[in-house]
């Protein structure tokens, strides 16, 4: 196992690193920027903000999205808010504190310098979004309002009702639309990236499938920016959108980009429970609900049984017979513990038999106390759209009876390995937002994904990409007629032909569901050695079965949803195995990665800083097992502690 | 539950479409409309038939991708919901359900139930933003915004760009869509400077792309999954008239 040493973190005090980077990075004059082409894949917060800003700076940008419009990227679904260290509430917040909370929330598995930069930039993001006309919530004095989120003891989360992601994305989409209008950005919709093109070891183009015509298309550039989100859908059921997938990143991995910390996946504690085999996705209920909602299960098994039979309503159970288990176990953070802690605690209660729905996999999120304290109108103003959404799905009125919730896969902290410049191990290939691994360690705090996506796109990449491109100003555009493009296209065509040729009798969704079941049961909220070993061999045999039994209708031209899904699931069947391998080697519990063998006497995650204080980064080796490299995590500016939310 | 589905099938932009009937059975009342279509599609795939192509993504009512015209109404029967939030318990067992794409001149059918709504992107590109660039902006609290204006702007900004307003309108007008964006930005001091120019440019683009005019039937408001109010159209009209008088729309 080798070590990665080139993370390119600038030297000096943590508070000065980013400033000194910006002061010394190389610049490109406007006349030369016009000669440089950049491909941005993905139009979520990271992709849209990057494409817009690069366009403003004068580069020729080509931006690609899988949906019919860039406005539909899955950032749109983020509900609760975005963190920033403004300290507008005068409650003791600072850049330093946001930095420390994020490092601690990530269970000390993130790169310190990246996290500090994120906290530093957080304030610029709020200013930028306000200037774009993002309608953040305000108080009666006209100033920006804040709320609290898990893992923090200050109110630093800015929000726009329960639709913060939507509003921030529409702000970035507006900026992107402005640049499309100005002619600096060209938009390609309904395109899915299926291969990366390398010229002399540098990323110089992509191969995409046009989802409307079925054509395989080639695009060239001086650099490729990946902002394609996470791989949570490897679990089949997740809060991700249906089209969210890991393929673009995975295909870059297979071209030589290292994949880091794949086993760091986040299970969100407050989602609507699973209710049937036909179910296609899970719906998140924002973490902001934990500001006022109290989580509980009955104390007595007899009450649980009556509830399941419908003989007792939750409201009938007296206060004394309720177990507010988060408040009991973590008195100082209570219902606002980080996501990994809240998820495991729900699982612990349900595993002990106290789950409150028919399947035994649900706990209550109760607003009766908040409604009594604040009045129904205030609760409605804060969470109205979330309550409506719950009522539509669950067919129950959460103003009258507690919500039922259960953890679900939500976010992936792992992703392509990037250095301080957000560059992968392939020169000229950059990864932003959820697609990279860098800022959230082993667990992401609520309201930090939006912050990271926009930090990367608006304020980091435009600097670091310039530093890279300054070497390439004399480099002409590469023709898409070059052999390397033809070869990359052929790989894609061959794979599609192979899928069509299988001619089996099982649908893609059926394989995806089976993969999801293995992942959820053995590589989900709690993991142990034996289960992980079983998962690795089960995924391998499922993959084999897929390539012998899958049925993909062979429409050679035009839209083919089954082919779209088959290509993604084929990649998930490989990625799932890498997640399990990574989880197996990481013999410690940290953040979202919980190994049953490594826990304290009272069931808390037990980290092993001596042996596992590193980022694992994998290099693709074809048919043989991938090679793992380690990036040691040195904490110069925060003290490593066992996380304690008690 | 059992249903008969009459679904619009059209193999590409230029092909002639037709209704095809399908039977689905044993559907759980708590399944969503799209999950019911997933079940149908799995059956079609196994039978070697071409599955029904429809746009969908987040399946929680926020991305605006889903766009089905169900029993004569965009997004079906639900009030304030998208197609993906429509559950089969809202239908009668044994019912025949007609499923069509959103129809409008400016939304050509791509395949089956999927239409091309890139005209909406083009309208936004014509001016649906504040023209600030990244960086160099004032502190977020430097310009105060009254809570009332911020809340009204947020209500208008809830638009998900699904196009139900266009599909419901007998003129296939995009006025509610345009008005929502124009209002959001006009209500905020950050967007006020360009408000008249923006209104003029977006309406001109809407006309150019083949959307119809508004004749105040309010069908758009009735079907909007996000309850966008037609009062935004009044605000748009005021700005548009002002732009006409003052010539602010013509500024480059």
How would you write A253-305 as a 3-class SS string? Answer: HCCCCCEECCCCEEEEEEECCCCCCCCCCCCECCHHHHHCCEEEEECCHHHHH
A120 pLDDT tier (thresholds 50, 70, 90)? very high
Using one digit for the tens of pLDDT, what is the confidence trace for A33-86?
999 999 999 999 999 999 999 999 999 999 999 999 999 999 999 988 999 999
- Quick check: is A219 in a domain? no
- For chain B, residues classed under CATH 3.10.20.30 are 3-111
pLDDT tens-digit profile of B61-110?
999 999 999 999 999 976 789 999 999 999 999 999 999 999 999 999 99
- Cβ-based neighbours of B42, under 8 Å, separated by 6 or more: A507, A509, A510
CB distance B30–A283 less than 8 Å?
no
Nearest CA of chain B to the CA of A623: how many Å?
Answer: 31
Query: Residue A158's beta-bridge partner residues?
Result: A82
The mean pLDDT value for A114-134 works out to: 98
- Residue B33's H or E segment, with its range, is helix B33-46
Which of these, A360, A308, A276, A282, lies nearest to B89 by C-alpha position?
A276
**pLDDT band of A100, cuts 50, 70, 90:** very high
Q: Looking at residue A64, what is its pLDDT?
A: 98
With CB atoms and an 8 Å threshold, state whether B135 touches A555.
no
The helix or strand, by DSSP H or E, that contains position A185, with its residue range, turns out to be strand A185-188
Over residues A245-264, the pLDDT tens digits come to 999 999 999 999 999 999 99
ipTM of the complex: 0.97
Tens digit of pLDDT for each residue in A597-612? 999 988 889 999 999 9
Q: Does residue A27 surpass a pLDDT of 90?
A: yes
Query: From the CA of A396, how many Å to the nearest CA of chain B?
Result: 12
Strand, coil or helix: what is B196? helix
Mean pLDDT to the nearest integer, A292-320: 95
Distance from CA of B188 to the nearest CA of A (A): 7
Residue B250 banded pLDDT, cuts 50, 70, 90: low
Is pLDDT at A362 greater than 80 in this prediction? yes
Last residue of a domain, one of A384, A409, A434: A409
| Number of alpha carbons in the 13 Å side-chain half-sphere of residue A132 | 29
Q: Across the interface, which of B61, B134, B154 has its CB nearest the CB of A135? A: B154
pLDDT of residue A148: 87
Read off the pTM.
0.97
Tell me how far apart the alpha carbons of residues A617 and A416 are, in angstroms, rounded to a whole number.
Answer: 8
Using CB atoms and an 8 Å cut-off, which of residues 597-616 of chain A contact chain B? none
Distance CA A527, CA A351 (A): 14
The distance from CA A374 to its chain's CA centroid, rounded to whole angstroms, is: 34
Mean pLDDT of chain A: 95
A196 falls within a domain: no
Task: Please report residues of A whose CB lies closer than 8 A to that of B107.
Answer: none
For residue B153, give the nearest of A53, A135, A187 by CB distance.
A135
pLDDT value at residue A555: 73
Q: Is the pLDDT of residue A95 over 70?
A: yes
Domain that holds residue A493: 487-619
Residue A1, pLDDT > 60, answer no
Interface of A with B in 473-532 (CB under 8 A): 505, 507, 509-510
Is the pLDDT score of B244 beyond 90?
no
Q: Which residues of A are catalytic, by number?
A: 339
pLDDT tens digit sequence for B105-162 = 999 999 999 999 999 999 999 999 999 999 999 999 999 999 999 999 999 999 999 9
Q: Is the pLDDT of residue A219 over 50?
A: yes
List CB contacts (< 8 A) between A189 and chain B.
Answer: 118, 121
What is the C-alpha separation between A491 and A261, in angstroms, rounded? Answer: 27
**B62, A166: Cβ pair inside 8 Å?**
yes
Is A27 in CB contact (< 8 Å) with chain B? no
Q: What fold characterizes domain B3-111?
A: Ubiquitin-like (UB roll) (3.10.20)
Average pLDDT on A421-427 reads: 98
**Is the pLDDT score of A157 beyond 70?**
yes
Tens-digit pLDDT profile for residues A546-588: 999 999 998 767 899 999 999 999 999 999 999 999 999 999 9
CB contact under 8 A, B150 and A136: yes
pLDDT-derived band at B251, boundaries 50, 70, 90: low
Q: What is the arithmetic mean of pLDDT over B177-185? A: 98
CA distances from A341 to A60, A334, A444 (A): 45, 11, 12
Same domain, yes or no: A394 and A274: yes
Burial class from Cβ neighbours inside 10 Å (0-12, 13-18, 19+) for residue A341 reads buried
Helix (H, G, I), strand (E, B) or coil at A165: helix
Angstrom distances, CA of residue A233 to CA of A77, A166, A247, A468, B3: 15, 21, 11, 33, 30
Answer yes or no: do A514 and A400 share one domain.
no
Q: What average pLDDT score do residues B214-225 get?
A: 96
- What pLDDT shows up at residue A422? 98
What contacts A77, CB < 8 A, 6 or more positions away?
A165, A166, A239, A241, A284, B58, B60, B62, B63
> What CATH number is attached to the domain comprising A379?
3.90.700.10
User: Among A389, A409, A429, where does a domain finish?
Assistant: A409
Q: For the domain that residue A553 is a member of, what is the CATH number?
A: 1.20.58.100
Which residue, of A409, A431, A449, is where some domain finishes?
A409
**Res A495: pLDDT:** 97
The pLDDT of residue A384: 85
The confidence band for B252, taking pLDDT boundaries of 50, 70 and 90, is very low
At residue A152, the pLDDT reads 87
* Residue A531 resides in a domain: yes
Q: Is the pLDDT at A2 greater than 70, yes or no?
A: no
Is the CB of B28 less than 8 angstroms away from the CB of A177?
Answer: no
CATH T-level assignment (fold) for domain B118-250:
Fumarate Reductase Iron-sulfur Protein; Chain B, domain 2 (1.10.1060)
Give the chain A residue whose CA is nearest to the CA of B117.
A68
In residues, how long is chain A? 646
| Domain count for chain A | 2
């Amino acid at each position: 196992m080798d070590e990665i040493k080139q993370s390119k973190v600038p030297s000096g005090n943590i508070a000065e690193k980013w400033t000194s980077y910006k002061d010394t990075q190389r610049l490109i004059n406007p006349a030369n920027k016009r000669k440089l082409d950049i491909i941005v894949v993905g139009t979520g917060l990271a992709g849209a903000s990057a494409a817009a800003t690069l366009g403003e700076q004068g580069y020729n940008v080509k931006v690609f999205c899988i949906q019919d419009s860039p406005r539909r990227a899955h950032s749109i679904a983020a509900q609760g808010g975005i963190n920033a260290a403004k300290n507008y509430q005068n409650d003791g917040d600072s850049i330093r504190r946001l930095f420390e909370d994020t490092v601690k929330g990530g269970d000390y598995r993130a790169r310190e310098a990246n996290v500090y930069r994120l906290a530093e930039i957080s304030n610029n993001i709020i200013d930028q979004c306000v200037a774009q006309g993002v309608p953040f919530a305000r108080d009666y004095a006209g100033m920006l309002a804040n709320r609290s989120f898990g893992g923090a003891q200050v109110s630093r989360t800015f929000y726009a009702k329960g639709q913060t992601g939507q509003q921030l994305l529409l702000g970035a989409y507006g900026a992107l639309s402005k640049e499309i209008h100005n002619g600096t950005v060209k938009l390609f919709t309904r395109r899915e990236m299926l291969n990366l093109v390398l010229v002399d070891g540098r990323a110089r183009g992509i191969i995409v499938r046009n989802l409307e015509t079925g054509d395989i298309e080639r695009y060239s550039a001086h650099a490729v920016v990946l902002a394609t989100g996470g791989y949570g859908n490897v679990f089949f059921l997740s809060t991700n959108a249906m089209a969210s997938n890991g393929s673009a990143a995975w295909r870059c991995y297979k071209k030589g980009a290292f994949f880091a910390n794949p086993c760091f996946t986040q299970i969100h504690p407050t989602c609507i429970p699973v209710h049937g085999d036909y179910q296609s996705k899970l719906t998140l209920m924002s973490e902001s609900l934990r500001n006022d909602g109290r989580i509980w299960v009955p104390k007595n098994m007899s009450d649980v049984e009556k509830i399941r039979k419908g003989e007792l309503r939750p409201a009938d159970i007296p206060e004394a017979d309720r177990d507010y288990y988060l408040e009991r176990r973590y008195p100082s953070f209570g219902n606002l513990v980080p996501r990994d802690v809240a998820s495991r605690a729900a699982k612990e209660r349900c595993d002990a038999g106290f789950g409150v729905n028919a399947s035994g996999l649900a706990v209550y999120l109760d607003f009766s106390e908040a409604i009594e304290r604040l009045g129904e109108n205030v609760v409605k103003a804060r969470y109205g759209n979330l309550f409506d959404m719950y009522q539509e799905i669950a067919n129950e009125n959460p103003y009258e009876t507690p919500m039922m919730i259960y953890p679900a896969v939500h976010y992936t902290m792992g992703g392509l390995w990037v250095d301080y410049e957000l560059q992968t191990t392939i020169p000229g290939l950059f990864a932003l937002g959820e697609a990279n691994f860098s800022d959230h360690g082993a667990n992401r705090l609520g309201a930090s994904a939006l912050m990271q996506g926009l930090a990367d796109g608006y304020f980091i990449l435009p600097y670091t990409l310039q530093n890279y491109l300054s070497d390439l100003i004399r480099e002409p555009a590469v023709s898409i007629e070059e052999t390397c493009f033809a070869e990359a296209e052929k790989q894609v065509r061959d794979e599609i032909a192979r899928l069509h040729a299988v001619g089996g009798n099982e649908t893609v969704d059926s394989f995806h569901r089976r993969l999801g079941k293995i992942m959820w049961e053995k590589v989900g909220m709690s993991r142990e050695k034996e289960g992980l070993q079983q998962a690795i061999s089960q995924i391998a045999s499922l993959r084999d079965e897929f390539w012998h039994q899958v049925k993909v209708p062979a429409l050679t031209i035009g839209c083919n949803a089954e082919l779209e899904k088959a290509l993604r699931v084929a990649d998930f069947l490989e990625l799932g195995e890498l997640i399990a391998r990574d989880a197996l080697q990481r013999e410690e519990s940290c953040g979202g990665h919980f190994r049953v063998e490594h826990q304290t006497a009272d069931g808390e995650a037990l980290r092993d800083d001596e042996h596992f204080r590193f980022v694992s980064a994998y290099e693709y080796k074809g048919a043989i097992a991938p090679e793992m490299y380690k990036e040691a995590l040195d904490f110069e500016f925060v003290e490593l502690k066992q996380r304690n939310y008690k | 539950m059992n249903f008969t589905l009459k679904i619009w099938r059209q193999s590409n932009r230029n092909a002639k479409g037709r209704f095809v009937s399908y039977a689905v059975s044993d559907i759980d009342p708590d399944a969503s409309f799209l999950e019911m279509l997933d079940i149908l599609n799995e059956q079609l795939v196994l039978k070697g038939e071409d599955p029904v192509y429809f746009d969908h993504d987040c399946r929680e009512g926020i991305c605006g991708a889903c766009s089905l015209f169900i029993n004569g109404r965009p997004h079906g029967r639900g009030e304030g919901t998208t197609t993906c939030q429509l559950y089969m318990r809202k239908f009668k067992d044994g019912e025949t359900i007609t499923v069509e794409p959103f129809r409008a001149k400016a939304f050509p059918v791509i395949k089956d139930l999927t239409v091309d709504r890139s005209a909406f992107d083009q309208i936004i590109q014509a001016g649906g933003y504040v023209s600030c660039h990244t960086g160099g902006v004032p502190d977020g609290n430097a310009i105060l915004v009254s809570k009332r204006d911020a809340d009204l702007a947020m209500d208008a900004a809830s638009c998900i760009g699904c196009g139900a307003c266009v599909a419901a309108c007998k003129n296939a007008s995009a006025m509610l869509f345009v008005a929502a964006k124009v209002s959001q930005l006009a209500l905020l001091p950050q967007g006020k400077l360009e408000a008249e120019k923006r209104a003029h440019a977006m309406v001109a683009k809407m006309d150019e792309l083949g959307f119809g005019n508004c004749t105040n039937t309010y069908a758009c408001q009735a079907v909007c999954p996000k309850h966008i109010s037609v009062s935004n159209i009044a605000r748009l009209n005021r700005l548009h008239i002002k732009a006409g008088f003052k010539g602010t729309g013509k500024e480059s």
